[in-house]
Structure 1
């Protein structure tokens, strides 16, 4: 089934030719940006006037603390669907075979599942908080506050850089738009609706983006395994590719009589460190190493990223834990199903994708272009744009909240009003959006690509994970230990990263620093050393914190929506914590231990085993698509109908008993329906 004849003599898939004209690149980047900016801004203001939502600084940064399960899950999926989710996952499938998509998906799902435990503790310990750093300041003081403010902002910068590196490279490959220019243009669509509507606008846009991403996902999965090919056909192609000798690969990748094949540059021949050299096995040395890097690195980009704390703060107490669990399980299918289809299809078809293209995240666009022509290119560009803008918006709001509450209010103007805070929040969204472009250009000119930054991130921020977990979960954790763990773990991780690189290659270069072993060592040291340091310091001098000061974090305005006492009873929060611990830890053990261990005896998959593996990915993707599109609509049907009645000039009918319950509530505690 190889497609070598069609691409004979090509040294790369895209080369200098783009499947779409340059005008389409500008249309996608600017047109979609403008469309979603207008749409979400209109929806936010319709909600304001139709449902009586008051837009205070509290609402701008917390969305009223009353977001329901379906929308919380949709937002988590949207925030967690980076450019890397769509692009890097298929790169590791191209490199390691079936183990790559699995380890990408499972290794980045468990953090969201476990964060649900923290989400409930936020409701118990710090219901009026706006940022994680406010909680750090309340418990551990100024030194720890400045430390974790640095790590939180660093996490935002790293995530944003990956969005732009992957997005700009793909837009350039598909349309020819200059990479530097694309880095500046992509954030523009995010700035308007985020600055206008705050977190609520971000959540609305996230739902729309998530729906589009899942629709494209099921089209790709269905096309590869049902419409065009089958699991048996892809299986045969993968086995054939891994059976090629170096001589056969040189014959495939040649111009005239001159070969341009180099080991590792193309997916051809046996896979190093895989059982039998096959793409069809979980017994993969490279895949397992990537899985460990993925797990550690993504703990950093969830637990240290303010946007996840913000989503937990915004969720209703009854929805927070369920939203994170559902969001994690739904998100799993995006890298798993997309990479199992497009990533493996790229290898089975022997498309001339070079390692440089794969590292830049161009495997999915290449396969989509091959399967669908120019429509596939448009589909991938739109899907990617959805991921970039939704996550970019969440990162913008996260940085806005950190600057407003942890820099401006804490150190510049402690007596600021709600209006002043709202103004600062909007200014920061705009400024950060513009700076995002410069960051993307700088990293691109440094020679860093998406895969490099993705594997590196745990070295930089992994050391802050354990102290932030202990912040809410361990009363003995002290401030000195938290600061020492964060900085000490980071220094040890970066030193290990450099030392292992020097030991393995004999020289330190940017390319060598982006390989598996140095990053594996650095990531493990970051997490393990910080955990040990914080444990030793805290046991030597335990804080025995009572969490009282954390519960007294000030609000700038008495916007009490989402803070009704009946939602915060100890009995309810204890039951919710037990529920999320049971299911969160249960699914974590299933995904990182039981599932991979059960697949090891299979060795190299048989055709039937691979067919079952593919069936799981297809079924999961279709069920997840239905749930994540329908549930938020079903839960918010009342608010949607309120807007519809408002648009035709009518008053929405109230349910029986609603008027009475509304009258009983004071205006400031009335909850707005979502």
Structure 2
């Protein structure tokens, strides 16, 4: 996508957030474009310079930038990770569990989910220019072949995301810090990715994402304030860059593409922007389906809290890129107009140097620090999530399943302690194995208390004859988790350095690679919604869909543009090429998946359908059952009986209805209402532009207030309620109470129910 191919206002819809800048003085050319005589002849078409301005844009020394990022952000993240560990060790007493590393204990609040998801989906490329996740469920339903294929897809998605993260961080540092080396840039980035997730796991990622989102909202509020309410003592050069009326009059004189309404850049009516909006929708949908980090955020909260959290996150995300993209690109176009051409080369614009230059010109050195804070906060949230996602695949899906399983030939529906199958026949679905559950095991309570002492795993001798060996096994997996994070970070060092030396087009990397993920949307959705979907359908749909997407991309790039594949990076990342890749990939993958599944499935009745879904319900951890987190929802169901599909549908029908309602509301507001109002104006006036930016500012302020205050309030309330209920049970350590059968039951299950 070329920046000149979109309108300035179309940036809101298309997400192209690339922006620039230079000194603005009165230009006689603008007098030719009076409000009474505006026409095509008075507009100026800007070209690209031979020498780019980016090399002289920095104002921060290498030492200052390194200390600011590593000591400031890195130190903050480590402190937050230690606080998270302390809370889960001394309050919730679940820090010793492997699952807590990858699902944050499964008790994340609504507001914390919202700010974390908003932080993760806000990729840094948006600013300058996703435990036992789905793959284990695929293994349970479709077997090893499909599991291996989709593990590869998940890892590829994480690598693509990390590629964009590394390149974005490097280009921002290169623009803001003159002379910084590629090697130092990559070392700084990787240290941020792996620092706090190594210590605190996914829970620490949620906590640090809160600080990330707060700082981003506050920083962007300050930045947009300079455009809407400029100070009176500003110099003329800065005032000309922040005064909306001056910016409007200048940008009005810049000629846009012929496909824009009135060939203007001040309109939402832009063909390329519309096409990109469609492509971006499928790209985001593909990321939500394929990215492990997104699945981790989902399972870290209960269904209802997760639904509301994702819904709120969509509105939090709405204001962040808009507040940065629009005013910055206005300033860039104004300065380019005075210069007679764009200040940056096309490659530098695509790589995000616009934002670096504009923020420095508007705010001085503080603007460069502000940009570093915004971008690296987003980098920490997204990059660490991707590292955790790859680590979870390596530990759960590869090592635990294929390399070092607790028991050989273990299936997801088999008890890992005794190796017996869980009975899925009949309505009651009684577990065939005789293993006692850890929540009613007296020895397990002693072992849990022992694991909380802080001793190293090899120093602990668990006493439970039933669950002790498995606890040792999970302790070993926790060590592998830490090692995997370390090795992933080390592997990213040479990979990132190579990327920096290749100097790839960031826009091409982001758009093309993410578009090639769209063929996997339908197979993944059908895997969790259609009982007749089969392993052969999943595999064939993914492969043929990917091939169709690649063919569509290359064919349209060759035929629709004069340059053809000779200008490979430009034509393959242009709007029609990306749209063709999306349509071809989704259509072929859908047709192949459905056709092959219909030809190979064995579903003959409702009983067969129930049996398929039961395969996923039976996935459980013998010492940390998912039922422990849903004691309130499961109500009076006997502990010895397996939960059925009917039970799950009844229990979570409220969350399902809420998800449908939230989806409809989001579509109506963000896809129909707001764009519809914006499209009603052919070319915006200065007043309309001002009120649009004011609307963005109000939304940004509301989001800031929510992001700053809601998560800590909910967390404090959750901790207080937990401690109060713990005291009511008359114990300070691991509470126990006698059940009606004379056994000992872990009262923490009841505490979780009361604090849900």
How would you bin the TM-score normalised by the shorter chain?
Answer: 0.7 to 0.9
Instruction: Tell me which of 595, 598, 608 is aligned to 2:687.
Output: 608
- Return the offset for 1:227: 2.1
User: Partners in 1 of 2:381 and 2:242 — Cα distance?
Assistant: 36
* Comparing 462-471 and 269-278, the one that deviates more: 269-278
In structure 2, what is the equivalent of residue 373 of structure 1? 364
3-state SS of 1:282 partner: coil
**Aligned residue number for residue 702 of structure 2:** 623
- 1:553 is aligned to 619
TM-score (norm 1): 0.83
2:121 and 2:382 in contact (8 A); partners too: yes
Structure 1 distance, partners of 2:306, 2:160, is 26
The one of 260, 266, 282 equivalent to 1:274 is 260
How far the C-alpha of 1:571 sits from its partner, in A, is: 3.8
Deviations 1:336-370 (A, max 9, x none): 22212323332234483443322111222222101
**Higher helix proportion:** 1
Q: Work out whether residues 267 and 683 of structure 2, in 8 Å CA contact, stay in contact via their aligned partners in 1.
A: yes
1:477 aligns with 2:533: yes
What's the offset of the Cα at 1:572? 4.2
Q: Which aligned pairs between 1:223-622 and structure 2 lie closer than 5 A?
A: 223-227=226-230, 233-234=243-244, 236-244=246-254, 269-350=255-336, 352-415=343-406, 417-503=473-559, 504=561, 505-508=563-566, 509-542=568-601, 544=603, 545-546=609-610, 547-555=613-621, 557-558=623-624, 563-568=629-634, 570-622=649-701
Question: Which residue of 2 is the match for residue 98 of structure 1?
Answer: none
Q: String of CA shifts for 1:480-532, please: whole Å, max 9, x gaps.
A: 22111111111111122122222222334334333333222212222232222
Aligned CA RMSD, in angstroms, stands at 3.0
Change (3 A) 1:282 1:415: same
Is residue 671 from structure 1 mapped to residue 746 from structure 2 by the alignment? Answer: no
CA distance in 2, matches of 1:532, 1:333: 37
| Whole-angstrom CA distance in 2 between matches of 1:198 and 1:66 | 14
**CA apart distance, 1:202:** 1.2
Deviations 1:184-213 (A, max 9, x none): 321113323211111111111111111111
Q: Give the secondary structure class of the aligned counterpart of 2:93.
A: coil
| CA 1:436–1:273: 2 relative to 1, 3 Å | farther
Per-residue CA deviations over 1:528-568 (Å, capped at 9, x if unaligned) read 32222223333444454430010111326336585233235
SS of alignment partner, residue 357 of structure 1: helix
Shift of 1:58: 1.3
**Conservation of the 8 A alpha-carbon contact between 1:497 and 1:513:** yes
Gaps of 5+ in 2: 1-20, 28-48, 232-238, 337-341, 408-472, 604-608, 635-647, 738-744
- Which segment drifts farther, 528-537 or 151-160? 528-537
| 1:108 matched residue in structure 2 | none
Query: Contact 2:241–2:362 at 8 Å: present in 1 too?
Result: no
Structure index of larger Rg = 2
TM-superposition CA deviations, 1:255-312 (whole Å, max 9, x none): xxxxxxxxxxxxxx33442111212111102211221221122212221001111111
Q: Is the 8 A contact 1:318 1:567 kept in 2?
A: no
CA contact (8 A) 2:244 2:690 kept: no
Alignment-derived partner of residue 260 in structure 1:
none
**Contact 1:64-1:561 at 8 Å conserved across structures:** no
SS at match of 1:227: coil
Deviation at 1:52, TM superposition (A): 4.2
CA contact (8 A) 2:22 2:361 kept: no
Q: Which has the higher contact order (CA 8 A, sep 6+)?
A: 1
Aligned to 1:59: 100
CA distance in 1 between partners of 2:60 and 2:258 (Å): 36
2:724 match: secondary structure: coil
Q: Say whether residues 1:203 and 2:203 are aligned partners.
A: no
* Closer/same/farther in 2, CA of residues 2 and 388 from structure 1, 3 Å limit: closer
Please identify, of 182-191 and 145-154, the stretch whose mean Cα deviation from structure 2 is larger: 182-191
Separation in 1, partners of 2:50, 2:518 = 41
CA distance in 2 between counterparts of 1:301 and 1:339 reads: 22
Counterpart in the other structure of 1:264: none
Other structure's SS at 2:623 match:
coil
Q: Which residue of 1 aligns with 2:5?
A: none
1:313 to 1:2, Cα distance in 2 relative to 1, 3 A: closer
- Residues 598, 476 of structure 1: alpha-carbon distance in 2 compared, 3 angstrom cutoff: farther
- Tell me the distance in 2 between the aligned counterparts of 1:561 and 1:3: 63
SS class of match (1:487): helix
1:15 counterpart SS class: helix
Partner of 2:123: 82
Closer, same or farther in 2 for the Cα pair 1:407/1:15, shift >3 Å?
same
- Report the secondary structure of 2:54's partner residue: coil
Contact 2:227 2:242 in 1 (8 A): no
User: Deviations for 1:166-189, whole angstroms, at most 9, x for unmatched residues?
Assistant: 111111111131234312321113
User: In 2 relative to 1, CA 396–365 (structure 1 residues): closer, same or farther, beyond 3 Å?
Assistant: same
Three-state SS of the structure 2 residue aligned to 1:184 is helix
Structure 1 residue 660: deviation in Å? 7.1
Q: 2:151 aligns to what? A: 149
The whole-number CA distance in structure 1 between the counterparts of 2:241 and 2:311 is 30
Selected match of 1:175 from 174, 177, 181 = 177
SS of the residue corresponding to residue 279 of structure 1 reads coil
Measured at CA, do residues 49 and 479 of structure 1 come closer, stay the same or move farther in structure 2, by a change above 3 Å? closer
Q: For 2:214, what is the secondary structure of its paired residue?
A: helix
Q: Does the 8 Å contact 2:81/2:204 carry over to 1?
A: yes
Q: Distance in 2 between matches of 1:235 and 1:462?
A: 41
C-alpha change, 1:21 and 1:471, in structure 2 (3 Å) is: same
Tell me which residue corresponds to 1:22: 62
Shift of 1:11: 4.4
Q: Could you tell me how far 1:663 is from its partner in structure 2? A: 6.3
Taking the aligned partners of 2:652 and 2:311, their CA distance within structure 1 comes to 16
- In the TM superposition, residue 601 of structure 1 has moved relative to its aligned partner by 2.7
TM-aligned CA deviation for residue 146 of structure 1: 1.1
User: Conserved in 2, the CA contact under 8 Å of 1:10 and 1:352?
Assistant: no
Give the 3 Å change call, closer, same or farther, for CA 572–338 of structure 1 in structure 2.
farther
> Aligned partners of 2:503 and 2:575: how far apart in 1?
18
2:724 to 642, 650, 654: 654
> Alpha-carbon deviation of 1:406?
0.7
Native 8 Å contact 2:261 2:683 kept in 1: yes
Q: 1:318 to 1:586 in 2, by over 3 A?
A: closer
The range that moved more, 663-672 or 292-301, is 663-672
SS in 2 for 1:382: helix
- C-alpha change, 1:575 and 1:581, in structure 2 (3 Å) is same
The alpha carbon displacement at 1:629 in A equals 1.6
